[in-house]
Amino acid sequence: MNGTISVYLQNGGTGTWLALPAGRDDFQKALHEIKATDPDSVTIGQYKTGVALLPVELLMNADLDAVNYLAARLAGLSPNTSNCWRPCWNVCCVPMCCAASSS
């Protein structure tokens, strides 16, 4: 499930898509690509998600670290459980139907 969430990072008129979850090196590469010398000058243009029931609006209102954490948790799910989860924003969780089917 790697790359189920992507973020468009912008610096002025330049931008790039970054697949999440991403590590420090991935973020540094993206910042270099858009010629951002100060991380505070970077804005989030939009998100893309291939995850059912995950509204982009939820991602836009969240901290990038939290979205990256969510993407890491989703990346750990097997394909047969990825469509039955429900988002719990404070703690990324998998409902009982998924827990039962993943064993």
CA Rg value for the chain:
15
Per-residue pLDDT of 56-97, as tens digits, reads: 888 999 999 999 999 998 887 655 544 444 444 344 443 433
Those residues whose C-beta lies under 8 Å from the C-beta of residue 91, and which sit 6 or more positions away, are none
Q: Count CA within 13 A, CB hemisphere, residue 92.
A: 15
Domain ranges of the chain: 5-101
pLDDT tens, position by position, 9-59: 999 889 999 999 999 999 999 999 999 988 888 999 999 998 878 888 889
Measured CA to CA, the distance from residue 94 to residue 78 in angstroms comes to: 12
Q: What is the pTM of this model?
A: 0.70
Beta strands 14-20 and 5-11 are antiparallel
Q: Between 101 and 81, whose confidence is greater?
A: 81
